[in-house]
């Protein structure tokens, strides 16, 4: 069809159109230069299945992640190592449910000593009931380290230690999709989706003293926000930032569509400041992910639905920026995804030149999710699709965040699909 239309254009129109056509071809060539490769397809056996989180990478380029199920049935932690141009998966730990936890939705965080820390959404204390519909335990924070003795077998499991078990209200429980972070003293920070004195979840700190970890709830969400789905990040002065998902089943609530918050320490207490409250308009609604911050202190995040393409689940979500100025914050929508629903669930990634990268859970050419890039240009942002998932061997429904290696390769996961149906780990090479 395109060739026939070109055939009927006058020579004058052809000369005018030529630069545009050449630009289109160059753009297509750049897109085609991106090489998508599946590094591992999960089977649901010992390797696990359904990775809902992103990956962590060490200095040697090894990848670490979690699967929400599989292993012995309750999820697993794995390592992917590149050996002679092949990627080899090694299961590091398989969760049993009680007492060590099950269903890890967040990825792992690599500590300075190379050991791993993470959370499980369920599991933990036997008998603790955090679900009105059934006896589901409340979740855990765990630590994984290599065995102290030399491994002589093909599979070398790591040693797991529970450093904290969440309990029922008024305690916080159900840590969700956000990875834990550390401060300079080695204390751990995170967010939990439910519980607390405000019954809306909260942010917590774990402090280590002679090998024993003590939990402190920094803030209980309630009237000023509900249900943080992501984790927290630090700024340069030690304030914490994150998002709350909201309560869309209560549309008349002032925080029904989510918030962006800051927690500021002072005198041993933490004070919450709501930086932005979503309205389910062009701004989007229901942010599920953690935030990122650039060197100038600007915050970047996503909303999973809404935006100018439609309110609520009719919209495809947004990418947005919050910029500080004279004690207030300015909210700007950078991009709106076409609906309906299933927009970005994962945090953004920024490269050294200020480009943003992320994923959408659905949408894309095949409605199975996508990997995208946003490039600042002329006061706006240009959208580029890096990969549209087909739902076949390449997987579908990417939940987790993205990472770069030192060579500029981009890595991520897809929660389902793949040749064995249990999701995949993938790479996009420039």
CA distances, 79 to each of 91, 209, 325, 408 (Å): 6, 29, 43, 20
pLDDT of residue 17: 36
pLDDT tens by residue, 306-361: 999 998 889 999 999 999 998 899 999 999 999 887 899 999 999 999 999 999 99
The Cα–Cα gap between 94 and 256 comes to: 37
* CB contact at 8 A, 374 and 382: yes
The Cα–Cα gap between 284 and 345 comes to: 13
Tell how strand 202-209 and strand 410-414 pair up: unpaired
The Cα–Cα gap between 367 and 244 comes to: 26
∠ Cα 227 278 261 (to 5°): 55
Domain boundary assignment for the chain: 37-429
Residue listed under structure tokens 């709830």: 217
The Cα–Cα gap between 322 and 235 comes to: 14
pLDDT of residue 85: 86
**What is the pTM for the complete model shown?**
0.90
With residue 147 as reference, give the H or E element that holds it. none
Tell how strand 370-377 and strand 356-360 pair up: antiparallel
Q: How many helices (H) and strands (E) does the chain have?
A: 2, 29
CA dihedral 131, 247, 224, 192 (to 10 degrees): 40
Closest alpha carbon to 385 in 321, 315, 338, 331? 338
| DSSP letter (8 states) at residue 313 | G
> 37-429 maps to which CATH number?
2.130.10.130
pLDDT of residue 57: 98
Residues in the chain predicted with pLDDT less than 50, given as ranges, are: 1-32
The Cα–Cα gap between 152 and 118 comes to: 27
The Cα–Cα gap between 56 and 286 comes to: 26
pLDDT of residue 149: 78
* CB contact at 8 A, 388 and 370: yes
Peptide bond into 139 cis (omega under 30): no
* CB contact at 8 A, 234 and 240: yes
The Cα–Cα gap between 41 and 48 comes to: 10
Question: Which residues are paired to 76 by β-bridges?
Answer: 67, 94
CA distances, 95 to each of 68, 71, 159, 258 (Å): 10, 7, 11, 32
pLDDT of residue 33: 56
pLDDT of residue 51: 98
Closest alpha carbon to 176 in 239, 226, 107, 117? 107
Closest alpha carbon to 141 in 160, 155, 159? 160
């Amino acid at each position: 069809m395109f060739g026939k239309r070109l055939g009927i254009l006058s020579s004058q129109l052809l000369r005018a159109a030529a630069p545009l056509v050449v630009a289109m071809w160059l753009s297509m060539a750049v897109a085609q230069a991106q090489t998508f490769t599946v590094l591992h397809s999960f089977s649901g056996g010992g390797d696990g299945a359904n990775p809902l989180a992103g990956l962590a990478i060490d200095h040697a380029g090894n990848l670490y992640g979690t699967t929400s199920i599989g292993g012995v049935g309750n999820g697993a932690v794995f390592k992917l190592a590149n050996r002679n141009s092949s990627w080899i998966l090694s299961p590091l730990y398989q969760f049993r449910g009680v007492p060590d936890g099950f269903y890890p939705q967040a990825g792992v965080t690599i500590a300075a000593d190379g050991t791993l820390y993470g959370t499980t959404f369920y599991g933990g204390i036997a008998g603790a009931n955090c679900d009105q519909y059934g006896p589901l335990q409340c979740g855990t924070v765990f630590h994984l380290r290599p065995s102290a003795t030399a491994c002589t077998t093909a599979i070398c499991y790591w040693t797991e230690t529970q450093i904290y078990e969440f309990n029922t209200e008024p305690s916080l429980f159900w840590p969700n999709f956000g990875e834990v972070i550390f401060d300079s003293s080695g204390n751990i920070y995170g967010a939990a989706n439910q519980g607390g004195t405000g019954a809306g979840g909260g942010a917590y700190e774990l402090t280590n003293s002679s090998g024993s970890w003590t939990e402190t709830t920094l803030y209980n969400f309630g009237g000023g926000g509900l249900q943080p789905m992501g984790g927290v990040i630090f700024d340069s002065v030690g304030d914490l930032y994150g998002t709350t998902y909201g309560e869309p089943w209560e549309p008349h609530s002032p925080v029904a569509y989510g918030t962006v918050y800051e927690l500021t320490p002072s005198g041993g207490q933490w004070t919450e400041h709501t930086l932005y409250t979503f309205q389910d308009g062009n701004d989007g609604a229901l942010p599920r992910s953690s935030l990122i911050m650039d060197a100038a202190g600007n915050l970047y995040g996503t909303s999973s639905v809404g935006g100018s393409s439609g309110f609520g689940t009719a919209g495809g979500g947004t990418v947005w920026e919050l910029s500080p100025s004279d004690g207030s914050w300015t909210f700007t929508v950078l991009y709106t995804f076409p609906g309906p629903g299933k927009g970005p669930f994962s945090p953004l990634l920024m490269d050294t030149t200020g480009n943003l990268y992320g994923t959408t859970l659905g949408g894309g050419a095949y409605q199975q999710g996508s990997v995208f890039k946003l490039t600042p240009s002329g006061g706006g942002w240009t959208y580029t699709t890096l990969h549209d998932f087909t739902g076949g061997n390449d997987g579908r429904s990417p939940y987790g965040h993205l990472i770069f290696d030192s060579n500029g390769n981009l890595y991520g996961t897809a929660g389902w699909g793949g040749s064995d149906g249990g999701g995949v780990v993938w790479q996009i090479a420039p």
